[in-house]
Structure 1
Amino acid sequence: MAPRIILYTGKGGVGKTSVAAATARRCAAAGLRTVVLSTDPAHSLSDSLESPLGAEPTAVSPNLFGQEVQAQEEMERHWEGVQEWLGDLLTQRGMDAISAEELTVPPGMDELFSLLWIKRHHQEAAFDCVIVDCAPTGETLRLLSFPDVVTWWLEKVLPSQRRLAPFARTLFDMPMPGDAVFEDVERLARNLVAMNGILRDRSRTSIRLVMNPERMVVKEAMRTFTYLNLYGYLTDAVVVNRVLSESAGQGYFADWRRTQQEHMDLVRSAFAPLPILEAPFFEREVAGPEMLDRLAAEVFDARDAAGVLHQELGQELVTSNGHATLRVPLPFADRGEIDLKKIGLEVIVRVGATKRTIILPPAMSTYATSGAKFEDGALRITFQKAADAQRSD
């Protein structure tokens, strides 16, 4: 049976690693065979669990395994052939070997390779739960949007590049990629597309946003929530960490608590109806089994930590009698920053500087966009069959 997959992300320093580790301990205590893995290059999971971890799942306690994915090893596994070809190309053009090696890995690819462990755990089904401590939100969003780009490249660009490569080799005095390189790239691309399908399976996979009750952090979480919906990922809960209790918010901390409560009001109104899970500002550092279990008890109370805590209505397409409606939830988006374009079967939705390409089914090749409306935090795009659209003119 495929595992339950939970990804934790948030602004750097909000405590997402602690929350991920606490969730993993809670799931393991419930009898679920659980692995918690860190894809953040700045690994701190072993410090949080107070247990040494390796690049492969390492036993921590009954039912619990931890893993700190080593990006360099993953790059060598998935990118070695491409890296060698790019290195040869750059050194032939006069670049020294060390600089060439640095430039053969595009920014963010190391973290992307780390995320492929999610696909591997899903396929092997050795665990009931896979808990992922992701990189901070900016990097996570960039990585989660990457498979959409890969899908487009795989369908539109790779076939023509592969056909042209033999001719280019005869025309240009430079090493051109051989079949082995194309096969490596295509295999990686298909793995990323498969991983994307796993991450968008709302019955098994969800993302939880971790934040502190601070205005800048909450605002970033709101933007993240918008973009996660744009990319079609399910967010099933929000975790607000380090909330000052009434007893702790006395004297010097009185103003801090008052400000936190104002931000908590914003969180509750902005993210409703998502479950808002709270954790207090503990009297000491949250690390090790005892403190992680206390954190889990505060966050989840009687809830099932491994459950899908909210089944948000996500992107959906409804067709009927020559008409179709595509609904894309965009909570917190501003009407003025939304742009829409349809090219063939591709619907391109842009929110500010971020865009998403949604591929329509082939049956809608004869449909034209007939309108769009943004209301109640969702973009509704309507389509008509071309013949129907002409009759209505």
Structure 2
Amino acid sequence: MRILLFTGKGGVGKTTLAAATGARLAAGGCKALVVSTDPAHSLADAFGVPLDGEPSEVDSSLFAAHVDTRRLVDRSWHELRGQLRTVLAGAGLDALDAEELTVLPGVDELLALTEVARLADTGPWEVVVVDCGPTAETLRLLALPEAVSTYLNRMYPAEGGLGAEPPGENRGPVGRLAAHLASLRRLLTDPDVASVRMVLTPERLVVAETRRTLTALALRGIHVDRIVANRLVPQGRLGLGPAAHWLRTRRAEQDAVLAELAASTPLTVDAVEHRAAEPVGTAALLELAAELYTASDPLDRVHVSGPLLAVRAEGAGYVLTIAIPLTDATDLDLVRVGDDLAVTVDGVRRLVALPVLLRRFTVVDAESDATGLTLRFAPERP
């Protein structure tokens, strides 16, 4: 099974392109589910049919659903919160502190991602297409499993994390949370299963945000396999007059922006022209998909990146490379924190666990380029 996650800045058309991709896959014979985690709930508008939290058939082999995060919170969070409060109090926190800590930021995103995994596991789908929220929400969504898991494991290292429970006992909500975190993390970072499709409009501000998002996703070990530039000014015989001049000028600006983007990434940048009428319904979505996937299959892996971390010996020391795309404008900070390396890129921070063989070595040099970070380690001095 494949999971394709569509995201991008709000208003760039990611919902429409996710729906079009699902329609194309279903038309080709795949059993496809398109599911939205976007609070805007516009997937139903794209298909022109009502949707709810359970998959419903839109067309032959094509199903769709909206993840209702508020309903998930109402159904699941109350019990989980009570369990967390009990465990935290048992760890030595007083009742007030335990109560405050159970107000967990990001629980909506965590439950939404868990629901996507549930839908993927319980249906006959060959492909699940996820219409994610805007970029900032998607980054929180995709980063949360690792962040919460790290937090819990640091609190309870002897038990292997908060989800560990005594033998013979059934797993309660806390145990299920720990299991979900581990499975979600594996799911998101397996390029054979999950990949992200970045959608943008060819504007400099949007492209700048896209570059930052690509770096943030790479830092999380999450694979991006396509970039889709949406709503290009159509090319053709525009004639004369101010309107035609404006359209030619605007398209030239868009082409220049996309050329700069293409030069800065190994990813293929696919393009879709703006339509006069909004594509609604499977017939219109299939027309859009025919343009998007003219020379490729929606399931093609256009670009497969290498591992996030790579180590090689160099003299008496080692060289560690961290494969994240960087530009001259990237705001980068590195700090050694015990056996971890805290990497902060444009405000996005991740603790990268150093390979065991490097933990007794010291960082003596660091440099960066478009391919990522290179750090040199030397033996610690006695």
- Say which of 135, 147, 150 aligns to 1:149: 147
2:252 aligned partner: 261
Find out whether 1:357 has 2:346 as its counterpart.
no
**2 CA distance for matches of 1:27 and 1:312?**
24
TM-fit CA distance, 1:323: 4.1
**Is the Cα–Cα contact under 8 Å of residues 53 and 67 in structure 2 kept in the other structure?**
yes
Cα separation, partners in 2 of 1:363 and 1:87, compared to 1, 3 Å: closer
Q: 1:243-276 CA distances to partner (integer Å, 9 max, x unpaired)?
A: 1112386642633542343233232332442111
The AA in structure 2 aligned to 1:254 is: H
**2 CA distance for matches of 1:382 and 1:30?**
49
- Say which of 235, 248, 265 aligns to 2:224: 235
TM-fit CA distance, 1:128: 0.9
**2 CA distance for matches of 1:57 and 1:337?**
42
The AA in structure 1 aligned to 2:211 is: M
- Mean Cα deviation higher: 362-371 or 60-69: 362-371
TM-fit CA distance, 1:121: 4.3
- Say which of 124, 127, 134 aligns to 2:125: 127
1:317 aligned partner: 310
* TM-score normalised by L of structure 2: 0.84
Cα separation, partners in 2 of 1:262 and 1:125, compared to 1, 3 Å: same
TM-fit CA distance, 1:56: 1.5
TM-fit CA distance, 1:369: 2.3
**2 CA distance for matches of 1:219 and 1:127?**
35
**2 CA distance for matches of 1:249 and 1:228?**
40
Find out whether 1:302 has 2:295 as its counterpart.
yes
The AA in structure 1 aligned to 2:333 is: D
The AA in structure 1 aligned to 2:281 is: G
**Is the Cα–Cα contact under 8 Å of residues 326 and 372 in structure 2 kept in the other structure?**
no
**1 CA distance for matches of 2:141 and 2:40?**
16
TM-fit CA distance, 1:209: 0.8
The AA in structure 1 aligned to 2:319 is: T
Find out whether 1:380 has 2:374 as its counterpart.
yes
TM-fit CA distance, 1:80: 2.3
Equivalenced residue count is 360
2:193 aligned partner: 204
TM-fit CA distance, 1:104: 6.7
**1 CA distance for matches of 2:252 and 2:144?**
37
Find out whether 1:347 has 2:341 as its counterpart.
yes
Q: 1:108-132 CA distances to partner (integer Å, 9 max, x unpaired)?
A: 3213211113332454473111100
**Is the Cα–Cα contact under 8 Å of residues 150 and 193 in structure 1 kept in the other structure?**
no
Alignment map for 1:236-251 (pairs within 5 Å):
236-247=225-236, 251=242
TM-fit CA distance, 1:55: 0.7
Unaligned runs of 5+ in 2: 90-94, 162-168
- Mean Cα deviation higher: 303-312 or 80-89: 80-89
**2 CA distance for matches of 1:253 and 1:85?**
64
**2 CA distance for matches of 1:275 and 1:212?**
15
Cα separation, partners in 2 of 1:238 and 1:344, compared to 1, 3 Å: same
The AA in structure 2 aligned to 1:222 is: R
Cα separation, partners in 2 of 1:161 and 1:302, compared to 1, 3 Å: closer
- Mean Cα deviation higher: 7-16 or 241-250: 241-250
Cα separation, partners in 2 of 1:161 and 1:329, compared to 1, 3 Å: closer
SS at match of 1:135: strand
SS at match of 2:133: coil
TM-fit CA distance, 1:233: 1.4
**1 CA distance for matches of 2:181 and 2:13?**
28
TM-fit CA distance, 1:334: 3.8
Cα separation, partners in 2 of 1:190 and 1:371, compared to 1, 3 Å: farther
The AA in structure 1 aligned to 2:63 is: F
2:92 aligned partner: none
Cα separation, partners in 2 of 1:257 and 1:13, compared to 1, 3 Å: farther
TM-fit CA distance, 1:204: 1.9
The AA in structure 1 aligned to 2:342 is: I
**1 CA distance for matches of 2:152 and 2:201?**
40
- Say which of 168, 177, 188 aligns to 1:188: 177
SS at match of 2:52: coil
Alignment map for 1:151-190 (pairs within 5 Å):
151-158=149-156, 183-190=172-179
**Is the Cα–Cα contact under 8 Å of residues 349 and 357 in structure 1 kept in the other structure?**
yes
- Say which of 219, 222, 246 aligns to 2:211: 222
**Is the Cα–Cα contact under 8 Å of residues 333 and 351 in structure 1 kept in the other structure?**
no
**1 CA distance for matches of 2:130 and 2:74?**
22
**Is the Cα–Cα contact under 8 Å of residues 311 and 320 in structure 2 kept in the other structure?**
yes
1:367 aligned partner: 361
Unaligned runs of 5+ in 1: 94-99, 164-179
Q: Considering only aligned residues, what root-mean-square deviation do their CA atoms show, in Å?
A: 3.2
Cα separation, partners in 2 of 1:344 and 1:68, compared to 1, 3 Å: same
**2 CA distance for matches of 1:256 and 1:152?**
51
- Mean Cα deviation higher: 10-19 or 109-118: 109-118
**Is the Cα–Cα contact under 8 Å of residues 201 and 230 in structure 2 kept in the other structure?**
yes
TM-fit CA distance, 1:184: 2.6
TM-fit CA distance, 1:311: 0.9
Cα separation, partners in 2 of 1:336 and 1:275, compared to 1, 3 Å: closer
**Is the Cα–Cα contact under 8 Å of residues 212 and 346 in structure 2 kept in the other structure?**
no
- Mean Cα deviation higher: 121-130 or 374-383: 121-130
More helix, by proportion? 1
SS at match of 1:213: coil
**1 CA distance for matches of 2:73 and 2:159?**
23
The AA in structure 2 aligned to 1:258 is: T
- Say which of 108, 113, 138 aligns to 1:140: 138
Cα separation, partners in 2 of 1:50 and 1:105, compared to 1, 3 Å: farther
**2 CA distance for matches of 1:87 and 1:370?**
44
**Is the Cα–Cα contact under 8 Å of residues 226 and 333 in structure 1 kept in the other structure?**
no
Cα separation, partners in 2 of 1:208 and 1:162, compared to 1, 3 Å: closer
